[in-house]
Amino acid sequence: MKAILIFLGVLILIAVIAAISGVGSYNGLITASQAADSQWAQVQNVYQRRADLIPNLVSTVAGAANFEKSTLTEVTNARASVGQVNVNPNAAPTDPAQLKQFEQAQGALSNALSRLLVVVERYPDLKSNQNFLGLQAQLEGTENRISVERGRFNEVVQNFNTRATKFPTVLVARMFGFTPKPYFAATPTAQTPPQVQFNFGATTAPAVR
């Protein structure tokens, strides 16, 4: 009888330890997931800031005599395409295809802006436009923030994914439906912030980072 009681006591102790470990693992996953969601919201904020600057930028540049309308149309259309990508601004994506679609749309906008900035080099009169100069500074700062926030997003996602795939937390993750989150992946044609420099009078176009 005594042996049975000892055996039951051991089982209860193991069950209590497992429960405490499971709760700790679950809470850790929640914390890491919320950190990823919070950082995703920051990414959305800086991209939205860039989108908000574009109408004024296009309007100001369009005021230059004989400015190439096709370039402005490309930027405007790329901005509209970004708005058509359906992503939750408050929750980090769990579908790699969805994040890839978001990246492609934002990358197309980055490329359109890069081409616009190259064309602007042909219009030195814009350098005296204070509104344009102000937009230039804001756009440069925003592009830098995009790069920073995307890097931070990848860091918090890595932390979450590490937690969600390590034993024994992986068992809790599977039980409660926590799945790894995709990363931003830099490519030559997407998510590369354009170099916002206007070297008026230069004979060559500015390099794009």
- Check whether 207 has a pLDDT greater than 50: no
Give the separation between CA 150 and CA 39, rounded to whole angstroms: 8
Average confidence score pLDDT of the chain:
82
Q: Which CATH number fits domain 2-176: 3.30.70.3000, 1.20.1440.20, 1.10.645.10, 3.40.50.2300?
A: 1.20.1440.20
> What confidence category does residue 50 fall into, taking pLDDT thresholds of 50, 70 and 90?
very high
Distances (CA, A) of 197 to 101, 123, 179: 28, 14, 41
Per-domain boundaries in the chain: 2-176
pLDDT value at position 128?
72
pLDDT value at position 103?
92
**What token pair was written down for 63?**
């005021």
Sorted by sequence, the CB contacts under 8 Å of residue 40 that are 6+ apart come out as 89, 90, 91, 92, 93, 153
pLDDT value at position 63?
80
> What confidence category does residue 108 fall into, taking pLDDT thresholds of 50, 70 and 90?
very high
Nearest Cα to Cα of residue 41 among 99, 113, 92? 92
pLDDT value at position 191?
40
- Check whether 61 has a pLDDT greater than 90: no
pLDDT value at position 182?
95
Q: Could you give the percent of the chain with pLDDT greater than 70?
A: 82
Q: 3-state DSSP call for residue 187?
A: strand
